[in-house]
Amino acid sequence: MGELERLRKEIDEIDIEILRLLNKRAGTVINIAHIKRNEKAKFYSPEREREILERLTSLNKGHFPNDTLKVIYREILSASLSLEGPLKVAYFGPQATFTHLAALRHFGSSASFLPVESIKEVFDAVDSGKTDFGVVPVENSNEGVVSSTLDLFMDYDLKISAEVMLEISHNLLSKSGDKAKIRRIYSNPQATSQCRRWLESDLPGIPILESTSTAKAAEIASQDEEVAAIASEVAAKVYDLHFIEKDIGDSRYNFTRFLVISKEFPPKTGKDKTSIMFSIKDKPGALHDILSPFKRAKINLTKIESRPSKRKAWEYIFFVDMEGHIDDRKVRKAIDNIRDSCLYVKILGSYPHGGA
């Protein structure tokens, strides 16, 4: 037997052992499910999943890359959870949008996903109990905040239980992959604006038409050889499209932050972020008075965003992200210290920083 054949045989034996261990793990998961069912305990434990991922990546001293290890174990954890009872997750769809990718990144492909047509419908699905979680976009590094997501926190008593940071890569796709055949381009306005320079230099004069999402643009392109879509790599697979050009975005640093919403938020991990919203009384120096307790407590405020309350003229709602968990004494004390100066304060959630 040659050296190559010997090494391939060794890989086959390793794969068989991995398969045996995966099924052994699945059997243990099923036993845990029986115990949880008898004790009426929650099946999904995001803090336990995060603990597993962090432990494995810290123990990994070999050649296998940690980023790939996380992806594989996210799928193992997702498949294991489906043996207990699949999570139901609503997301701002349709399939193959970047929000769908963020949902897959966080929950794995074995979750039960429900695409809906608006961000409000995501909130409705979670609020009504139709799904356990929802995934919505909240901010892009180039385009700023998604105001409709922030506004909906005023109307729903839902919590932020996690965040997902997703690098956005825009691609030009079509049925043939032939740039010369393109007569129209479809995408949603945000994606189009992020690719403006490339479109003007490489396809000048080609009309750019609006679609409700990048995935809808891909669907349109799949039905007409003269149409190209600006969409994700996953959209190319789902709609059987070819690449005209990959990564046509104007900025090489393009990330979108997504929020995972639910009816509760997880316990502290030691690397957490807390989000709150508040409305202040209309008086000189009011905002300064609100921010002072956080400065005194040396709490880093990572974001401050204001939105009209839509309930009273010139009344504004402030959204603030800060480092730390609401169960941290200094965070809770600082928030308590601002209540008298606010018309109201709402804790939107405490959750692991940056997602898993």
Active-site positions? 256, 258
**Helix (H) / strand (E) containing 193:** helix 189-193
d(C-alpha 86, C-alpha 201), whole Å? 47
Return the SS3 of 160: strand
240/252 Cα distance (integer angstroms): 26
Output the CA torsion sign for 168, 172, 175, 178.
negative
The C-alpha atoms of residue 92 and residue 100 are separated, in whole angstroms, by: 7
- Count of CB atoms within 10 A of residue 147's CB? 12
Distances (CA, A) of 316 to 286, 312, 343: 12, 9, 11
Q: Which two tokens stand for residue 33?
A: 């499910």
Q: How far apart are the first and last CA of the chain?
A: 44
Residue found under tokens 């385009």: 143
Counted residue by residue, the chain has a size of 356
Please, what is the Cα angle at 281 between 279 and 287, to 5 degrees?
Answer: 75
Answer whether 182's CB lies under 8 Å from 206's CB.
yes
